[in-house]
């Protein structure tokens, strides 16, 4: 696919790695989009990227568990049946809505090892050595998923760890039949699996890629999960699992230590919230950049008549791209782990700041990204999966967790059975140098010991008239933010149902590179030509993201579940 305009070289240089962003799904058409309908349920709903994990969650809800219980069970199940992305070797964020109206944020993002340093991915001349942050043990951050899921279960769950983990253990031990959607993702890294005997033993079938209908068994992972079920996080952070991870890291030149695992912690915090018309968006605070960037973009867009302009029109695409351009410039300049940097959230989300940015948007001309900078102070000169759950009592959980690339570094420590993350690439390897998602970031997100890398993960809740209205989120690195934004706007502004919203062709603008990434079907040739005449540049990519969303229809009270068409093995299921 050709790149258009003067920024094509920049995008090629900072382009998104195929390992970092899954593009295995075929494009859709406007005709197919018009026919898309969500799954309906009266009481409860689970939507995830793998059908077996969704079924596990529904069964937990039917057995009397709440949304938090189901989230723990789904999280562990995805670690088995969606190994590219579901994980115990990475970390993530959880948004919780309780039936009493309270909203909470749980941060179980990975942390940098104690031996990490700002220049660890640079050579002696200050040049970034890219493979270090994506393909080696130096790329591995301290995983948070096991402690995060247990923290949620202990605080708000109602069922035992054994009840919630046994389905995942059974799936790992007995195996499960692979569908085409599973095979599509496994085949993206088959050549890499072959490089490591302990990986090939599990994820290749006698040395050859798995095919549809084959059964994938993971006895090593079953053993690891059984240890966690028996002894809880202690087994992972202070016991035999941590020991294997550290020994493998030492053997392969990594930085992990037993002290790093012993020091790891998760944190409950207040979500970020903002208004858009009569909706309240409740999302993730730093170290996620997602909630702030989604909200800042919506603050800029609020006065514009998107409803009148329509989906995929010249004016709506132009205005949304310009708002994203400005919000991402702020995101990449100012945000970082709040334990290390001061995040100016109130200023970024203020009406004055939105108006100042809005005043720089021209109706008929694209603003070159070179003319946009984070403007609060002087210039300093993810792979992932998501699931959404609503239970019969009105509790809801939105979870996005990740190992960054598809299958992380593509390596497994010893016989632990799970892939290790390459989350350290989410840090700024060097200010001004793009990461794997093309993001050009500043010193606020530089590498420091014990620091959590800035993330784009954006599990999000939307309230309307004080009641839960939508649960949404997606994988996709920096594209997560724009995917979540569009899943909301497609319903709130463009009148789509929930299934149409998550299936609709997407656009993404992240400030640098100065290119709008689009999926086929978003722009007609005439619209694209007009936008190019206005100064916009485009790069077409077949697909990205996988929004797994639920809408609570205020007229009918029914739950509308939508599994993204980009995850054909996923499922929206309820009762």
Catalytic residues: 384
Sign of the CA dihedral 134, 203, 74, 498? positive
Both tokens assigned to 349: 């989300």
Contact (Cβ atoms closer than 8 angstroms) between residue 449 and residue 263:
no
CB atoms within 10 A of CB 326: 27
CB within 8 Å of 294: residues ≥ 6 apart: 281, 283, 458, 460, 481, 484, 485, 488
**DSSP letters along 119-174, please?**
TTTB-TTS-B-GGGGTTSGGGPPBP-HHHHHHHHHHHH--S-HHHHHHHHHHHHHH
DSSP state of 545: -
Report which DSSP code applies to 188.
G
Tell me how far the alpha carbon of residue 461 is from its chain's centroid. 15
Q: Are 382 and 480 in contact (CB under 8 A)?
A: yes
Task: Give 191: exposed, middle or buried? Use CB within 10 Å, 0-12, 13-18, 19+.
Answer: exposed
Instruction: Round to whole Å and give the CA distance between 188 and 79.
Output: 18
Q: Confirm if 349 and 302 have CB atoms less than 8 A apart.
A: no
């Amino acid at each position: 696919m050709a790149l258009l305009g003067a920024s094509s070289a920049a995008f090629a240089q900072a382009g998104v790695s195929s390992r970092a962003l899954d593009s295995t799904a075929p494009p859709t058409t406007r005709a197919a989009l018009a026919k898309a309908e969500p799954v309906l349920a009266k009481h409860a709903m689970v939507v995830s990227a793998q059908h077996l994990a969704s079924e596990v969650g529904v069964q937990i809800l039917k057995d009397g568990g709440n949304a938090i219980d189901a989230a723990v069970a789904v999280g562990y199940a995805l670690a088995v049946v969606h190994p590219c992305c579901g994980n115990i070797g990475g970390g993530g964020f959880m948004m919780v809505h309780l039936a009493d109206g309270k909203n909470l944020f749980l941060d179980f993002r990975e942390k940098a090892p104690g031996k990490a340093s700002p220049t660890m991915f640079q050579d002696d001349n200050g040049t970034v050595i890219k493979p270090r942050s994506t393909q080696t043990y130096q790329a591995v951050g301290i995983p948070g998923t096991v402690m995060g899921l247990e923290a949620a279960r202990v605080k708000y769950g109602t069922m035992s760890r054994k009840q919630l983990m046994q389905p995942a253990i059974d799936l790992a031990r007995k195996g499960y039949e692979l569908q085409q959607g599973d095979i599509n993702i496994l085949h993206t890294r088959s050549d890499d699996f072959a490089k490591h005997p302990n990986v090939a033993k599990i994820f290749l079938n006698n040395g050859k890629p798995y095919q549809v209908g084959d059964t994938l068994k993971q006895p090593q992972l079953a053993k690891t999960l059984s240890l966690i079920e028996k002894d809880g996080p202690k087994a992972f952070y202070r016991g035999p699992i941590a020991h294997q991870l550290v020994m493998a890291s030492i053997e392969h030149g990594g930085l992990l230590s037993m002290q790093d695992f012993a020091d790891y912690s998760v944190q409950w915090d207040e979500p970020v919230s903002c208004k858009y018309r009569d909706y309240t968006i409740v999302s993730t605070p730093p170290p996620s950049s997602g909630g702030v960037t989604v909200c800042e973009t919506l603050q800029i867009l609020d006065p514009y008549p998107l409803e009148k302009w329509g989906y995929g029109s010249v004016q709506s695409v132009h205005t949304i791209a310009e708002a994203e351009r400005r919000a991402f410039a702020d995101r990449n300049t100012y945000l970082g782990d709040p334990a290390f940097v001061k995040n100016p959230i109130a200023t970024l989300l203020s009406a004055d700041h939105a108006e100042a940015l809005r005043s720089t948007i021209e109706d008929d001309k694209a603003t070159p990204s070179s003319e946009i900078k984070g403007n609060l102070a002087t210039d300093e000169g993810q792979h992932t999966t998501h699931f959404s759950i609503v239970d019969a009592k009105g509790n809801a959980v939105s979870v996005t967790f990740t190992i960054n690339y598809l299958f992380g570094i593509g390596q497994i420590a010893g016989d632990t059975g799970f892939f290790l993350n390459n989350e350290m690439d989410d840090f700024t390897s060097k200010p001004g140098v793009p990461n794997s998602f093309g993001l050009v970031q500043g010193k606020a997100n530089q590498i420091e010991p014990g620091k959590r890398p800035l993330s784009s993960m954006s599990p999000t809740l939307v309230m309307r008239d004080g009641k839960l209205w939508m649960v949404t989120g997606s994988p996709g690195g920096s594209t997560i933010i724009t995917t979540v934004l569009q899943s909301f706007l497609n319903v709130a502004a463009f009148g789509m149902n929930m299934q149409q919203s998550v299936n609709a062709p997407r656009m993404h603008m992240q400030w640098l590179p100065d290119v709008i990434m689009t999926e086929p079907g978003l722009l007609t040739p005439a619209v694209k030509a007009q936008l190019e005449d206005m100064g916009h540049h485009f790069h077409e990519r077949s697909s990205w993201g996988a929004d797994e969303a639920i809408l609570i229809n205020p007229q009918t009270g029914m739950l509308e579940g939508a599994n993204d068409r980009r995850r054909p093995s996923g499922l929206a299921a309820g009762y």
